Each structure stands twice: as C-alpha cells, then as structure tokens.
A and B are shown apart, each in its own frame.
Chain A
C-alpha cells in the first residue's frame, strides 16, 4: 500500500513539474547593437529577417540574425508563434534561402543567451532573439509592433 501511495505521489509530482514547465511563460527580447539606428520592428519584418526575406539594415549592411538552438524552449516558441515553422521546416527554408542566393548563411546559433550577447557585442550588424535577460551596455532592446517588452501588448510574450 505504501509503495502504491509513493508511486502515485511521485507521478503527481512529475505531472506537476511537467505542467509547470509546459505552462511556464516565455518572454523573448530582440536585441541589436546600440550603433544600429533601428529601435522598433514589426513582427512581420522580424519574421522576414528570420526567413531570409529581409536581409539588409536601413544603412545597407547585411543583417546577421542570431538565435538560440532550434530545439530550445525559446526558439521553439519563436519558431511556432512568429516564424510559424517547425524546426525542420525552418532549417530547410534556410537551405532554400542560401541556394537562391538571398543570404550567405542561415542564422548563427548561440548555445546560451550569454553567447548571443557576446555575438551581438562583437558584430555591428547582428540581431538576436533571446530570453528576457539583463543586457549589458552597448546594446538596445527593440520594441516589436511599437510595444516594449514590459508592455501588456508586447507580442513576444506567451
């Protein structure tokens, strides 16, 4: 009887943990070097950047998109809600983008938010979609569709 109770309790704990993980809110921020003149992007243009249809900053430089690994929780949410592709479709879309000569390479993958910050710090044309973390000086958090990350209508919060 004790064993059954313990098993049931364990299953409940696992289920609760799983539910908490699945339901945990995700908020992403979009960062660029502060040398970039852009301060706001539409969610449509953010999608275009990450499917290789928008490849240039207003000053003509090539955009270097950066993201977390496709199987990370943040990227899964970003791909599903903004790009609207699965990880496989996203990877194959970028094979097509490079093949068509639209962009020289797929987005750079940063293993952690800290690694993404390092790339943005060292690359003046980078843009990164990362979890909501504190950013160092020299970078800017972009508004999306005119909304800052803490606003209620911010579109990258689920």
Chain B
C-alpha cells in the first residue's frame, strides 16, 4: 500500500512534464514517450471501489540511419483489483527495424503478434483507445486474456502501392509457451509460431479498413504440445469524427495427447463519435464485448467468459490528457449481472 502515493504522484508529474512538451515537433533521431493512466471503479456489489489500476507505459525509438531504427517499450502496472495487489513490470517490445520502402519493413526481435487488430493498432496504451477497458479478446495473457500477444522472431510487413491500400504482414519465430505470458527461446521450451495478415484501406472510402489475420503455433507443454490455429476478421471505419471498430476472433486448440479439440471465440464492436463545435472534446461511445472460452480447456483456465456492454464518454482536456467516465454491465461467473462505474485519467507524454 505504501507505493500507492507514488503511483498517484507519478502521472501528475508526467502531466506537468507534458505541459512543457508542446514545442514544435522536429525530426530527431531519438524519441522517448509514454503513457500513464489511473483507473477508479465502483461496482454494484460494492466488492471493490476506489483506485484499482495504475499503469505507466514508456517507449523509446531511435533512428539509427535512414533504413535502420529500433524501438523498446516497457510497462509498469500496479493493480489493486479483486483485493489482489499486483505489481507487474514487463518488456513489451524490443526490436530493430530495417526499411527503405513502404512496401517492405522488417522487424527483428520481440514484438506483438498482431493477431488481434485492436492490439496491433493500440498496443498497450489505454490513452489511445476510446473506452476505458480493452475488449476481452485483446487482453494480455498476464491479464487473463486468451489470444497470444507476444512474438519473438522476424516479422515483415508492407503496403502495396495503389488505390486499394493493400497491406500485408508475415512473421515466423516463437510464440507463447507453457506459461502463456512468456515466449521462451530455449530449445526445450520454444514454441514455434507463424502469422500472416492482410488488410485493405481503399482510397474510395477514406477511413475504411478491412483486415484478416491468421496465426499458427505449436505450444510446447513438456510433455506434449498444443496445436494452435487462430483466425481474425476485422472492419474499422475511422473518419470525420466517427469511429466504428468490430472484430471477430476464433482460436482452435488441439492437444497432441488426446483427440480433444477446443474452440474459443470472441468479438467486440465499438461505436463512437466525436461531437462537433464547442463540444468537440467529447466523444461518447458504446462497446459490446463477448468472449466464450472453450469449456474444459486447461491451458486457458485463467481466462473467463465475457458478456458485457459498456457506454461512456471520453473528454479530451488537451490532445494529450483525457478523462473517461464509463458505465459497464457484465455477466459474472455465477450468471448475475454486475454493473461497474469507472473513471480513467489518461495521459500521453
């Protein structure tokens, strides 16, 4: 508990720093930035209330040359949820990138699978996303999420010239292993994985993007393994103040030691619109969130079904400082409906 004041003060200090960071942007080789957020919740069951999450996400990019660059990202998280105090410090991304063309970009190191489009776009930052919480299919394994998020290896991507705005991505390396939030690289624990993505953003309708992604992996359990096949489809339209994002994801697991097959599915849909005129700092939103974990699958025993909807409003105090208020209704494990009121302060610096 003694660390709590630090987590309250730190974002405030960063806010002060951000206030001084409004200088004209100029190209520079080294960039350090980040995000901080605080969340406060109260539930209809009165099981928990008050401050329950504080997060600091710091990243750095370095432009080594015209073609080479590097990126590192680390997250510090302090959670008081469910009366279970947790401190988590993670290296999220660390890679070098080579690119001399928009048609080909190669990243080598630890990055994200991108199998869930929400993560591909937002990565970790809660400031950048409209609602307070992540959709269930986008949660990290550390937060009891189901889909693999981390990937260590080589990932190539690019955008093809033309009015269809076709982008592609392909990678090979190691995915999560027996422990779902780690990507072991040693020969006895390495879990080979590959992924493929394709998207289209046609000029004819600026802001529209259609995307599909696939992930195959062999999760080494010692003994045995799980054969994983994931697929996602997503559509988004972000233009003229409107934001529509919807994504459907399926994860198939097959154990090497038995004929049992497990299928986990989920989807979300987010609708928001920035108001106009004097109210342009407000963005009301609605989120639908579903996740159905395959019954009886031991590998995903920590993940839980989700059946929730949330509505709220985001207010951008500045371009880099926002506050969100949200009402969320979700079904609990016992089948009852639980309502949660949440407030989040988010900051980018």
A89→B207 CA distance, assembly (Å): 13
Contacts of B163 in A (CB 8 A): 42, 44
1/0 contact trace for B22-44 toward A, CB 8 Å? Answer: 00111111010100000000000
Count A/B pairs, Cβ under 8 Å. Answer: 97
Interchain nearest-CB distance for B112 vs A (Å): 10
How many chain B residues sit at the interface, stated as a range, is: 35 or more
A contacts with B: majority SS = mixed
Q: Are the CB atoms of A105 and B26 closer together than 8 Å?
A: yes
Q: Are the CB atoms of A61 and B159 closer together than 8 Å?
A: no
Q: Name the residue of chain B whose CB is nearest to the CB of A84.
A: B239
1/0 contact trace for B61-101 toward A, CB 8 Å? Answer: 10100110101000000000000000000000000010111
Q: Are the CB atoms of B101 and A109 closer together than 8 Å?
A: no
Known: A44-B163, A53-B159, A62-B66. A105 touches B280 (CB 8 A): no
Say whether B2 faces chain A, with CB atoms less than 8 Å apart.
no
1/0 contact trace for B310-323 toward A, CB 8 Å? Answer: 00000010011000
Spot the interface stretch: B6-14, B118-126, B251-259, B291-299: B118-126
Q: Are the CB atoms of B25 and A44 closer together than 8 Å?
A: no
The interface centre, meaning the residue of A61, A92, A100 with most chain B CB atoms within 10 A of its CB, is A100
1/0 contact trace for B253-280 toward A, CB 8 Å? Answer: 0000000000000000000001000001
Q: Select A96's contact among B24, B66, B100, B121, beta carbons within 8 Å.
A: B121
Contacts of B203 in A (CB 8 A): 42-44
Contacts of B127 in A (CB 8 A): 95
A90→B201 CA distance, assembly (Å): 18
Interchain nearest-CB distance for B182 vs A (Å): 23
How many chain A residues sit at the interface, stated as a range, is: 20 to 34
Say whether B50 faces chain A, with CB atoms less than 8 Å apart.
no
Q: Are the CB atoms of A84 and B206 closer together than 8 Å?
A: yes
Q: Select A106's contact among B25, B29, B100, B316, beta carbons within 8 Å.
A: B25
Interchain nearest-CB distance for A94 vs B (Å): 8
Interchain nearest-CB distance for B273 vs A (Å): 11
Say whether B241 faces chain A, with CB atoms less than 8 Å apart.
yes
Contacts of A101 in B (CB 8 A): 61, 69, 71, 97
Interchain nearest-CB distance for A62 vs B (Å): 6
Say whether A88 faces chain B, with CB atoms less than 8 Å apart.
yes
Contacts of B225 in A (CB 8 A): none
Interchain nearest-CB distance for B208 vs A (Å): 11
Contacts of B319 in A (CB 8 A): 87-88, 91-92, 95
Q: Name the residue of chain A whose CB is nearest to the CB of B280.
A: A86
Q: Are the CB atoms of B128 and A89 closer together than 8 Å?
A: no
Say whether B348 faces chain A, with CB atoms less than 8 Å apart.
yes
Q: Are the CB atoms of B31 and A85 closer together than 8 Å?
A: no
Q: Select B102's contact among A42, A43, A56, A64, beta carbons within 8 Å.
A: A56
Contacts of A108 in B (CB 8 A): 24-27
Q: Are the CB atoms of B102 and A98 closer together than 8 Å?
A: no
Q: Are the CB atoms of A61 and B66 closer together than 8 Å?
A: yes
Say whether A54 faces chain B, with CB atoms less than 8 Å apart.
yes
Q: Select B33's contact among A43, A44, A99, beta carbons within 8 Å.
A: A99
Say whether B165 faces chain A, with CB atoms less than 8 Å apart.
yes
Q: Are the CB atoms of B67 and A60 closer together than 8 Å?
A: yes
A89→B275 CA distance, assembly (Å): 12
1/0 contact trace for B158-172 toward A, CB 8 Å? Answer: 010001010000000
Known: A84-B239, A84-B240, A104-B69. A89 touches B274 (CB 8 A): yes
A101→B157 CA distance, assembly (Å): 13
Q: Are the CB atoms of B101 and A56 closer together than 8 Å?
A: yes
Contacts of B159 in A (CB 8 A): 53-54
List which B109-123 residues lie within 8 A (CB) of chain A. 121-123
A60→B68 CA distance, assembly (Å): 12
Add 13 more A-B contacts to A53-B102, A85-B241 (CB < 8 A). A42-B163, A44-B165, A48-B165, A53-B165, A56-B100, A86-B274, A86-B280, A88-B316, A92-B319, A96-B121, A99-B128, A104-B63, A105-B27
Q: What are 6 A-B contacts with C-beta separation under 8 Å?
A: A43-B203, A44-B203, A54-B159, A92-B128, A96-B125, A108-B26
Residues of A within 8 A of B (CB): 42-44, 47-48, 53-56, 60-62, 64, 80, 84-89, 91-92, 95-96, 98-101, 104-109
**Nearest 6 Cβ contacts at the A-B interface:** A44-B203, A60-B100, A91-B319, A84-B239, A101-B71, A106-B25
